[in-house]
Amino acid sequence: MATAQSRSAARLMMTPAVVLLLGWMLVPLIMTLYFSFKRYLPLRGGDLGWVGFENYVRFVTSSAFWPSVQTTLIIVGGVLVITICLGVLLAILLDQPMWGQGIVRILVIAPFFVMPTVSALVWKNMFMDPINGLFAHLWKFFGAEPIQWLSQASLPSLVMIVSWQWLPFATLILLTAIQSLDSEQLEAAEMDGAPALKRFWYIILPHLSRAITIVVLIQTIFLLAIFAEIFVTTGGAFGTKTLSYLIFQRVLESQNIGLGSAGGVYAIILANILAMFLMRIVGKNLD
């Protein structure tokens, strides 16, 4: 159907978006690369000359580097597993007939509208505070010693906060997918006497695979960049330093732009490795 003319028109129409994004990618990328080979310390007078790969070596040999990669992967992985598992269950539940379905749906998606900063502040102070937090009251009510969430269980706490924020997104997408499921197929299976677990495994789950892929892809992109949640709750202490938080420390707290930029390049590489990995799965699943 595509003629040569419509092809060139199409190319023309794609141009603004492509050019803008190319610029948005290339300008910071080139500047980051440039800084990463420099000794650039704003508090010591700025640009202090070229240093070759020194920043790269220093960043990667720092004792904080590998733990930060590990933390990043744990947070991303943990949140993905939780949001997808709970998201599938919630989506199935919300798809069932019930009274007040609209209101329940509103309640479930509400956390998605809460700014990360606000949600981190609320969780940290009003729930996880070991003395005045609601959890501490709850634990004391049952006669247990309150947990010091953000120091003793820092990573699980963070994963929990972030999962709470992203669960609605996963649920929404999975719910849309479930609603498109052919209900006759399910009923046929039900009449054939297939137990609920089998119906779920052989009919619902395969149908959701595309939606799950989408959730994984989109959430990974956002989760790699989480920042406010860590900044507000632990400030990077207690093993919660992700790669992007480590870069933040190098750039803003240590004011070492060169070192931070080298870290930025590593983060881009890591993100792209993850992306390639994801794209391979997604690519298969998208068409």
In the region spanning residues 108 to 147, those forming contacts with other proteins, defined by CB under 8 A, are 108-119, 121-123, 125-127, 129-132, 134, 137, 141, 145-146
CB of 169 within 8 A of CB of 215?
A: yes
CA 233 to chain CA centroid, Å, is 17
| By CB under 8 A, residue 44 contacts other proteins | yes
For 39, 70, 112, 124, the CA distances from 119, given in Å and listed in that order, are 38, 24, 10, 8
In the region spanning residues 19 to 38, those forming contacts with other proteins, defined by CB under 8 A, are 20-21, 24-25, 27-29, 31-32, 35
Q: Which of 45, 52, 193, 206 binds other proteins (CB under 8 A)?
A: 45
Strand 46-50 versus strand 38-41 pairing type? antiparallel
Interatomic CA distance for residues 173 and 214, integer angstroms: 8
- Quote the least distance from Cβ 195 to other proteins, whole Å: 16
In the region spanning residues 199 to 258, those forming contacts with other proteins, defined by CB under 8 A, are 210-211, 213-214, 217-218, 221, 224-225, 227-228, 231-232, 234-239, 241, 243-245, 247-257
Q: Which of 97, 143, 193, 206 binds other proteins (CB under 8 A)?
A: 97
| By CB under 8 A, residue 67 contacts other proteins | no
| By CB under 8 A, residue 70 contacts other proteins | no
For 16, 166, 175, 213, 265, the CA distances from 90, given in Å and listed in that order, are 40, 13, 8, 17, 38
For 165, 170, 218, 279, the CA distances from 274, given in Å and listed in that order, are 22, 20, 12, 8
- Quote the least distance from Cβ 202 to other proteins, whole Å: 18
